[in-house]
Amino acid sequence: MLKQRIITALILAPLALIAILFLPIWWFEVAIAGVIGLGAYEWANMSGICERPKKFALMVAAFAVCMLLSTIVDVSQIWYQGKLHGLYHFILGIAALWWVVSLAMIIAYPRYSAFWRNSKSIRVLFGALTLIPTWVAVVSLRTSLHDVDPFYGSSLIFYVLGIVWAADIGAFFVGVKFGRHKLRPNVSPGKTLEGLLGGVTASVAIIAFAALHYHVAMSMIWLHLMIGGITVGVSALGDLNESMLKRCAGIKDSGKLLPGHGGVLDRIDSLTAAFPVFAFCYVTWMA
């Protein structure tokens, strides 16, 4: 298992790095749409859909929606005079609202869950609210200030990845060593409040480094810390949301596409929450 995890990581990490840094924007949109399509295929499992043709149909539909958005909003129109296209900003706003609703669902679980737990259609809708905004968010960040600095958008993506991964590592080690109080035992028994606090603390180092790197004015430090903290907090929400849906579906992993790692969603669950919320905050208050 460990050998499989290492081999998979050694293959995927360089591919992701090359895609984020060097792929032309349109091909980047296609690549991220492909990831979203694979995520939709796995989301079908968590929605209680077992028939392979239906899962493929969801995968194709998710990819098609992303490419339709790419067609509606040309690369040159994503940002205009420092403002994100209205359609993309609207989708990010819907995503931010969805994660507030998701938080309420997780806090209440298993109460009040019958209306969605017994409906495949509603769980598919949850997938659309999770995955499509992730594509919009990643593309929006990648294209930010692209005409000024082609790598600026890439640095934003790496920033989100950095604080989320730092939070995951911090949460793991602090949780193992000091974890006593379960965060939501009905959803994910392994998550603890101490682990969450440890993750937030670990991510502060990345946030501080980014603030220094971008020469953020002292008067704006509080905003960076607030948005970074929200992003880290909501990344944990993404993890819990997937755990809740997998528990309802009676499955351990979202899929088997990544040997040694489970499914694609198992690797990006926290990012499906972090990217849209960070992008919404960035577009609304920082761009």
Higher-pLDDT residue of 31 and 197 is: 31
**Which residue in the block uniquely carries the two structure tokens 């990845």?**
161
Question: In this structure, what DSSP letter does residue 113 have?
Answer: -
pLDDT at 191: 78
Mean pLDDT of all residues belonging to the chain: 89
Q: Measuring CA to CA, which residue among 248, 268, 265 is closest to residue 164?
A: 268
- Given a contact cutoff of 8 angstroms between Cβ atoms, the answer to whether 45 and 262 are in contact is no
Mean pLDDT of 154-175: 89
Give the count of domains, the chain. Answer: 1
Provide the residue type at 41 as one letter.
Y
Say if residue 64's pLDDT is above 60.
yes
- Does pLDDT of 278 surpass 60? yes
State residue 38's pLDDT score.
96
What is the DSSP annotation of 187-215? TEEEEEHHHHHHHHHHHHHHHHHHHHHTT
Q: Which positions ≥6 away from 208 have C-beta within 8 Å?
A: none
Q: What is the pLDDT of residues 92-104, one digit of tens each?
A: 999 999 999 999 9
In the three-class reduction of DSSP (H, G, I as helix; E, B as strand; rest coil), residue 171 is classed as helix
**Weakest mean pLDDT among 11-25, 65-79, 129-143:** 11-25
Identify the domain containing residue 202 by its residue range. 2-286
Query: Which percentage of the chain shows pLDDT scores above 90?
Result: 56
pLDDT, average across residues 3-9: 61
pLDDT of residue 283: 95
Does this model's pTM top 0.75? My answer is yes
- Residue 58: pLDDT above 90? yes
Region of 11 on the Ramachandran plot (φ > 0 left; ψ -120 to 50 alpha; else beta): alpha
Mean pLDDT over 232-258 rounds to 86
Q: What pLDDT sits at residue 2?
A: 46
Instruction: Indicate if the pLDDT at residue 190 is higher than 80.
Output: no
H-assigned helices in 23-85: 25-46, 52-72, 75-78
**29 vs 14, higher pLDDT:** 29
pLDDT in tens, 130-158: 999 999 999 999 999 999 999 999 999 99
